[in-house]
């Protein structure tokens, strides 16, 4: 009963501050909505395309930033991706609502939103699979039932089973030795993926995303890596084995940020399934290979979780307002994990020189020893305590002329025994990942 009262009060408040028409948006309507938001907030938004679908539809992204189109040093990049499965549409609509909300509240000088936009570069891709959505929406118009209608892209491919399989490499390396972060793409990867997948991979490689969420439907739970189980059992039989990353505690924390800010996800019982705290390790639920979530983490060290947001993959239009109110605070709080790092998490930001890149590292509270090493340079070690405030570590030194030497940063703490990053100085806008010895 208390949940109903809370939602009712939110409805009244929302009507006062942000009247919005809640409806489903076909492709042309989606594009108009993105440009409408941009026209209303031209100084803090940008619309850009990362590529085209099989049918030639643009994959449009709406960016929020006080300097749109520019990476500001020491300002983290975060992304939301919706509608990867064309028939899972709630994420698409929520991201459009979020876009309108951010714009309107920024114009109203809501200081919470102003801090978010000015301190974080936010990228919103409402639909990764516009072709599949049009198939699903047309089926809804004709009242054609079918759980999977429109799920895949126009070539009939499930985009969340279409990314390069880096899990196989990481599990081999964990057993036999080898890197556990920034795993390279396999040869000829472009010939093995769909146009939408290729566009997203190139997008991920072009921006140094620190945090991400992929919005799905069909359940209500926050899912975190790994998605692929070490034990290859299929859904419907006994549970697959929990397969945690070295950053499992941090991933669980991120998932709980969303589930507990959500109207009912944290309660656990949803859609006939029970998930304690409203979260689950992906592989513990069911194993999938070549998913986007694991790819983000293993290839670029972007911390991505998958948000399953509704029992009904294509909810009725009348349900959209309730769903928005149930997700609005969670969507904002998740973004704030980058903007307000001093609250629950923190990053270590290291500027190699005044002319080169920055990078971010999400860490749980604790004291860390950080060592930077590079050929031709003496190692430098500093200690930092992660907690209140926002630790910043600067390593200074003259950078050699290209080709640059490799720079390695190592972390040690009671939580995570060691972590490292390798890369050229100009490419250090990357998230550092922990190795297998992390506890």
- Say if residue 283 is in the same domain as residue 378: no
pLDDT at residue 426 tops 70 = no
Q: How much is the pLDDT for 370?
A: 73
The reply to whether omega before 403 is within 30° of 0 (cis) is yes
Average pLDDT over residues 25-53: 98
Q: Where are the alpha helices (DSSP H) in 262-349?
A: 282-285, 292-295, 320-339
DSSP 232: -
Q: How much is the pLDDT for 18?
A: 42
Instruction: Let me know if residue 352 belongs to a domain.
Output: no
Q: Which residue has the higher pLDDT, 370 or 171?
A: 171
- Say if residue 125 is in the same domain as residue 232: yes
* Contact call for residues 396 and 381 (beta carbons, < 8 A): no
| pLDDT, tens only, 296-351 | 999 998 999 999 999 999 999 999 999 999 999 999 999 998 643 333 333 334 33
Last residue of a domain, one of 339, 374, 409: 339
User: In the annotation, is 308 catalytic?
Assistant: yes
- Which CA distances in Å does 382 have to 80, 367, 370, 422? 34, 11, 5, 18
Instruction: Let me know if residue 10 belongs to a domain.
Output: no
Instruction: Let me know if residue 5 belongs to a domain.
Output: no
CA nearest 119: which of 78, 76, 79? 76
- Say if residue 165 is in the same domain as residue 278: yes
Residue of 104, 304, 308, 336 marked active site: 308
Q: What residues pair up with 403 in beta bridges, in sequence order?
A: none
pLDDT band at 74 (very low <50, low <70, confident <90, very high): confident
pLDDT band at 248 (very low <50, low <70, confident <90, very high): very high
Across the chain, mean pLDDT equals 81
The reply to whether omega before 377 is within 30° of 0 (cis) is no
Domain count of the fold of the chain: 2
Q: Which residue has the higher pLDDT, 372 or 204?
A: 204
Q: How much is the pLDDT for 419?
A: 41
Quote the crossing angle between the two packed helices 111-119 and 90-107, to the nearest 10°: 110
| pLDDT, tens only, 364-391 | 777 777 776 666 777 777 777 777 555 5
Q: How much is the pLDDT for 361?
A: 75
Residues in the chain, total: 439
- Say if residue 371 is in the same domain as residue 283: no
- Say if residue 427 is in the same domain as residue 315: no
Q: How much is the pLDDT for 11?
A: 44
Q: For the chain, give the longest Cα–Cα distance.
A: 69
DSSP 215: E
- Say if residue 277 is in the same domain as residue 426: no
Q: What residues pair up with 82 in beta bridges, in sequence order?
A: 215
> Tokens in use for 137?
């929406």
CA–CA separation, 434 and 410 (whole Å): 9
- Say if residue 321 is in the same domain as residue 223: yes
The kind and range of the H/E element at 279 are strand 279-281
pLDDT at residue 60 tops 60 = yes
* Contact call for residues 14 and 100 (beta carbons, < 8 A): no
For the domain that residue 202 is a member of, what is the CATH number? 3.40.630.10
Instruction: Let me know if residue 351 belongs to a domain.
Output: no
Instruction: Let me know if residue 347 belongs to a domain.
Output: no
Instruction: Let me know if residue 345 belongs to a domain.
Output: no
Q: What residues pair up with 434 in beta bridges, in sequence order?
A: 419
- Say if residue 202 is in the same domain as residue 299: yes
Instruction: Let me know if residue 357 belongs to a domain.
Output: no
- Say if residue 107 is in the same domain as residue 220: yes
What residue numbers bound the domain in which 385 lies? 366-434
* Contact call for residues 353 and 399 (beta carbons, < 8 A): yes
Instruction: Let me know if residue 108 belongs to a domain.
Output: yes
Hey, what long-range contacts does 37-41 have (CB within 8 A, 24 or more apart)?
A: 37/62, 37/99, 37/100, 37/103, 38/62, 40/103, 40/104, 40/107, 41/102, 41/103, 41/106, 41/107
Q: Which residue has the higher pLDDT, 100 or 401?
A: 100
Percent of the chain's residues with pLDDT above 90: 62
Average pLDDT over residues 271-282: 96
Last residue of a domain, one of 289, 321, 339: 339
């Amino acid at each position: 009963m208390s949940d109903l009262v809370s939602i009712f009060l939110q409805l009244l408040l929302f009507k006062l501050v942000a009247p919005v028409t809640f409806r489903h948006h076909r492709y042309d309507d989606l594009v108009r909505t993105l440009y409408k938001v941009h026209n209303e907030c031209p100084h803090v938004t940008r619309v850009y395309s990362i590529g085209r679908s099989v049918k030639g539809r643009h994959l449009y992204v709406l960016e929020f930033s006080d300097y749109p189109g520019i990476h500001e040093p020491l300002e983290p990049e975060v992304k939301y991706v919706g509608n990867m499965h064309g028939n899972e549409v709630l994420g698409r609509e929520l991201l459009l609502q979020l876009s309108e909300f951010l714009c309107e509240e920024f114009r109203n000088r809501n200081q919470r939103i102003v801090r978010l936009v000015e301190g974080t570069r936010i990228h919103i891709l409402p639909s990764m699979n516009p072709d599949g959505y049009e198939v699903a929406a047309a089926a809804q118009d004709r009242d054609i039932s079918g759980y999977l209608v429109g799920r895949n892209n126009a070539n009939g491919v499930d985009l969340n089973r279409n990314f390069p399989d880096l899990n196989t490499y990481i599990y081999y390396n964990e057993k036999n030795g080898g890197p556990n972060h920034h795993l390279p793409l396999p040869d000829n990867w472009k010939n093995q993926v769909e146009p939408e997948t290729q566009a997203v991979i190139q997008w991920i490689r072009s921006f140094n995303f620190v945090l991400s969420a992929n919005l799905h439907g069909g359940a209500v739970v926050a899912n975190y890596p790994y998605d692929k189980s070490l034990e290859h059992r299929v859904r419907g039989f006994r549970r697959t084995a929990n397969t945690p990353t070295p950053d499992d505690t941090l991933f669980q924390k991120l998932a709980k940020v969303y589930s507990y800010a959500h109207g009912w996800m944290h309660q656990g019982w949803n859609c006939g399934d029970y998930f304690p705290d409203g979260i689950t390790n992906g592989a513990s639920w069911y194993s999938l290979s070549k998913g986007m979530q694991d790819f983000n983490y293993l290839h670029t060290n972007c911390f991505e979780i998958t948000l399953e947001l509704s029992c009904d993959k294509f909810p009725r239009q009348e349900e959209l307002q309730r769903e928005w109110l149930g997700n609005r605070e969670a969507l904002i709080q998740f973004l704030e994990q980058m903007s307000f790092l001093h609250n629950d998490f923190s990053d270590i930001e290291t500027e190699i020189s005044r002319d080169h890149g920055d990078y971010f590292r999400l860490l749980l509270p604790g004291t860390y020893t950080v060592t930077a090493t590079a050929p031709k340079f003496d190692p430098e070690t500093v200690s930092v305590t992660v907690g209140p405030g926002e630790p910043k570590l600067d390593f200074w030194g003259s950078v050699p002329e290209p080709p640059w030497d490799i720079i390695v940063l190592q972390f040690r703490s009671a939580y995570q025994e060691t972590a490292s990053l390798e890369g050229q100085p100009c490419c250090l806008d990357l998230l550092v990942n922990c190795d297998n010895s992390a506890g």
